[in-house]
Amino acid sequence: MTLEEKIASLETRTGSNRPPREFRQLIQKYIPHTLKIPAIQVAGTNGKGSTVTWLSLLADCPVIGVFTSPHMFSHFERIQINHQPIPAQDWERLYDTWLTLFEQHQFTMFEADLWMALIWFAENDADLLLMEVGLGGGRDATTALDYLATGITNIGRDHMQLLGDTLEDVARAKAGVFKRNVPAATCEENPAILQLLKEEARKAGTTLVVSPPVELPDSFPRYQESNLGLALALLNLAQIRSLPIKQAEQSFFWPGRMQIICHSPLQVVDGAHNPEGVEALCQSMPAVDRICFSVLADKQAPEMIRRLLETGRDLVLVHFDSQRLANLEALSRQFHLPVITLEQALAETGSVLYCGSLRFAAAVLQGKHQTRIH
C-alpha cells in the first residue's frame, strides 16, 4: 500500500465513535502515558479552529500539540506541533504500527487520527495539547481525555441530523464535554442557550464562565473577538501564562476563514457553512460585489441563502466536485439564482466572496493556487 492508499483507506472509516469511556479504556491499556500531557478542549459549532489557533499563539508553552479537523488540503494538517503538520513518514510509521489494533477494534478515522496524534505528541514531549472536538461533545473521542479546562465557542444549527432537531438539543450534546471539577468557559451569547449550558455545567459538577469579547483591530472580522476572549479565559482557567495579544495578532492565520486571496480586486474565501456562521460573516461582510456560494446537502442552505441575499450582493450558486453537494438546481429554481461551474467562479475578475462550505473553500483555494502556478 502506498501512503496515499493508506490515507484513502483511513478516510473510508466513517461512522460513529464509540463512547468516550470505552475509548479511554483502550488508551489506558495501550498508551496510558499519553494521558499525562496537560490539555485544553474546545467544543462548539463555529470558531473552534480559530479559538484553538488563538490558544496556540497565546499559551506560553514551548511545545504545543494541536489536534483539529477537518483538514483543508492535507490529512496531516489534523495533527500539528507548533503549527507544523506531522511529517508524512511519522504518520505512516504510526499508522503501520497500530493498523492491527485499528482494525481489531474497528476504529473510525477520527479515533485513529486522535490515537496517532496522542502518541506523536508524547514522542515529542509536548507541554500542552489543544484538542478540538470533532462532533458534538458528549460522544466525541476527545472527551476521553483529562483536561485543565474546556470551552464551548457557541451553539449553532449544524449536524442536526446527528445532534438533535433543536438548538437546545445541540447545546445539550455540546455540553457533554463538561466534567466534574474541570473549569469551563463559553462565549455563547444567546441568553436561553447560555442558561441551558450553565445548568448542564452545574449538573456535571462544574461552573461555567462567560468570556467577554476582546477588541481586535478592524482588519479582523468581529467574530474573532469572541474567539480570542474565549482563548484568554481558557488559559486563565488552566492557569497557563498568556503571551502578549499584539504578538498573537501579528501571527494569527486560519485558512479558509475570511482569507483574502486577492487585494485588488478584493477576493475573499470563508468557510461559513451554517446559519450562525453565515450570520457572523454577514456582520463582517467584506466590500465585495458578488458572492459565489456552494453548499453541501446536509446543511440549511435556504436559510443561509436568504441571509446572504439580504446583503444586497449579487449571488450565484457554484457547482464543485463533491458527492455531498446540495441540489443546486432546486435551489436555483427556489431563489431564481444562476448556477455556474467552479471554473467560471475561479475566473471571476471582480470583487467576490466565496463561501458556504469548507470543502468549497478548499476547492477555491486549490484552484486559485493552480491558476497562479500555470
Q: Above 50 in pLDDT, residue 374? A: no
162 pLDDT more than 80? no
Tell me the three cell numbers of residue 161: 441530523
Cα distance between residue 288 and residue 296, in whole Å: 23
The whole-angstrom distance between residue 167's C-alpha and the CA centroid of its chain comes to 19
d(CA 5, CA 12): 11
| Cell, residue 353 | 466572496
Whole-angstrom distance, CA of residue 182 vs CA of residue 142: 15
Helix (H) or strand (E) holding 54: helix 48-58
Question: Where is pLDDT greater, at 222 or 338?
Answer: 338
Q: Are 364 and 345 in contact (CB under 8 A)?
A: yes
Confidence of residue 46 (pLDDT cuts 50, 70, 90): confident
Residue 93, pLDDT score: 98
Q: Could you give the CA distance from residue 146 to residue 239 in angstroms, rounded to a whole number?
A: 15
Name the pTM for this structure.
0.86
CA distance 105 to 82: 31
Backbone angles phi, psi at 309, to 5 degrees: -65, -30
Q: What is the pLDDT of residues 256-306, one digit of tens each?
A: 888 999 999 999 999 888 888 899 899 889 999 999 999 999 888 999 999
pLDDT tens sequence across 184-214: 999 999 999 999 999 999 999 999 999 999 9
* Contact residues for 123 (Cβ-Cβ < 8 A; gap 6+): none
**Residue 335 exposed, middle or buried by CB count within 10 Å (0-12, 13-18, 19+):** middle
* Per-residue confidence (pLDDT) for residue 159, from 0 to 100: 52
